[in-house]
Amino acid sequence: MKIFLSLVFTSFTLASAMAAPDLMRPWTGVSDPLIMSSTFNRIFASLPLKAVVADKQKFWSSDYWPLNKGNINYRWNSARPRGFNLNSPNREQAAHMSRQELAALAPSEKYDLFIGRYDYPLRNRIYKNTSPNIASWMGICHGWAPAALNHHEPKPIDVVNPDGLTIPFGSSDVKALLSYYYAYDNRVQSTHQMGRRCNEKSDNCQEDLNAGAFHIVLANKVGLEGTSFIADMEKTKEVWNHPIYSYSSNVVSITNARRSSARGIVKIIRLRTILDYVFEIKKNSWGPVIGTPLQYLKRRTYDYSLDIGSQGEILGGTWISSDRPDFLWLVGRTQKFDGMLSRIGELLRD
């Protein structure tokens, strides 16, 4: 499945211009680890060679809710799933629907009923941005990835609307709404992105995500902090955003610096890193997927070298394998749900 990223990252925190002037780092400003954190440990020997995220209640698989299927207007739990030309129930019709019939409605329809809006403002808003003619890879993975990074996996929940109608939400319904919020309505103070998005149809984009910077982020976020970040796993125009779950690095070789090496580099360490990341769900579900066969992890193997300075610090690196992430990014947990989806917090368990 392919994914669409609509976010435009404009506020790089800790801009690369803040890099310490006494270190000659052979990575460009857009790839400086300072973008992600000013406290990262850069000493190679201090960084774990393997690790897995600490919070096993997060990092859940989900649909990416493609726009050509109706996005979160998609009635995934219906005997005949569809996302367009929905005949949504009015107040009287909803009052006489069975629990099974209500459970078959789209996530957007359920939320509109939950807040007592029988004119379906959320469903109508989504109609304006969806079409069967949109490319199949376009969806809201840019909402799912930060939602899975920041929130425990939702469980099924029943809620009562202002008319006393009980609305049943499955896990995938809540995931859809949470992903939509992070994709379009989340107001964050800043975003952190290392590397630029490739806008080419092939993989001919100029490499701007330095391998050494990538390893610093990976080993600090997952290895030392037990947290994670999001990576666009494809270096082409299509964007596939996924939360990183675990990694394991093996030292292949250690050699002295070359004559052509940048100033300050004394040795080069070659690594092979196996990276596990959370993938889209193959089938939406009423219940949680973590701990079941529906939770889906995929694996990539990267070969790269690290440039090491006299104090053992990582000063840069070079990709050896042709496969590598396009860019890395990070968005924190929303502090407050606002706007049309302001009541989504009532559907969560964290």
The model's pLDDT over 308-339, given as tens digits with 9 standing for 90+, comes to 999 999 999 999 998 999 999 999 999 899 99
Residue 5 lies in a domain: no
Q: Other C-beta atoms within 10 Å of 48: how many?
A: 14
Q: Which residue has the higher pLDDT, 260 or 51?
A: 51
Residue 191 pLDDT grade (very low, low, confident, very high; cuts 50, 70, 90):
confident
Last residue of a domain, one of 171, 188, 205: 188
Query: Do 252 and 267 fall into the same domain?
Result: yes
Average pLDDT over residues 155-163: 98
Last residue of a domain, one of 133, 154, 188: 188
Query: Do 25 and 72 fall into the same domain?
Result: no
Q: What stretch of H or E contains 143?
A: helix 141-150
C-alpha closest to that of 235 among 279, 273, 272, 197: 197
Residue 301 lies in a domain: yes
d(CA 131, CA 135): 9
Calculate the dihedral angle through the C-alpha atoms of 305, 310, 312, 314, rounding to the nearest 10 degrees: -40
Residue 46 has pLDDT above 80, yes or no: yes
Q: Which two tokens stand for residue 183?
A: 């994709």
**In this prediction, what percent of the chain has a pLDDT beyond 70?**
89
Burial call 136-146: b when 16+ CB within 10 Å, e when fewer: ebbbbbbbbbb
Q: Which residue has the higher pLDDT, 196 or 86?
A: 86
3-state class of 258 per DSSP? Answer: coil
Query: Do 38 and 126 fall into the same domain?
Result: no
Q: Report whether 190 contacts 11 (CB < 8 A).
A: yes
d(CA 341, CA 333): 15
What's at 4, amino acid-wise? F
Residue 7 pLDDT grade (very low, low, confident, very high; cuts 50, 70, 90):
very low
d(CA 151, CA 128): 28
C-alpha closest to that of 67 among 157, 5, 137, 146: 137
Query: Do 326 and 206 fall into the same domain?
Result: yes
Report pLDDT for 30: 87
Residue 11 lies in a domain: no
Report pLDDT for 21: 33
Q: Which residue has the higher pLDDT, 214 or 190?
A: 214
Q: What stretch of H or E contains 172?
A: helix 171-180
d(CA 209, CA 330): 15
Report pLDDT for 8: 37
Report pLDDT for 349: 86
Q: Other C-beta atoms within 10 Å of 12: how many?
A: 19
Last residue of a domain, one of 162, 188, 214: 188
d(CA 311, CA 265): 10
Query: Do 302 and 210 fall into the same domain?
Result: yes
The mean pLDDT value of the chain amounts to 89
Query: Do 312 and 212 fall into the same domain?
Result: yes
Q: Report whether 75 contacts 106 (CB < 8 A).
A: yes
**In this prediction, what percent of the chain has a pLDDT beyond 90?**
76
Report pLDDT for 201: 59
Residue 200 has pLDDT above 70, yes or no: no
CA distances 204 to 4, 235, 237, 322, 323, Å, are 19, 8, 10, 11, 12
Query: Do 199 and 316 fall into the same domain?
Result: yes
Query: Do 224 and 197 fall into the same domain?
Result: yes
Model's pTM, two decimal places? 0.89
- φ, ψ of residue 170 to 5 degrees: the values are -85, 170
- φ, ψ of residue 339 to 5 degrees: the values are 75, -150
Domain range for residue 173? Answer: 67-188
Give the relative orientation of helices 141-150 and 171-180 as an angle to the nearest 10 degrees: 110
Query: Do 106 and 20 fall into the same domain?
Result: no
d(CA 163, CA 91): 9
Residue 278 pLDDT grade (very low, low, confident, very high; cuts 50, 70, 90):
very high
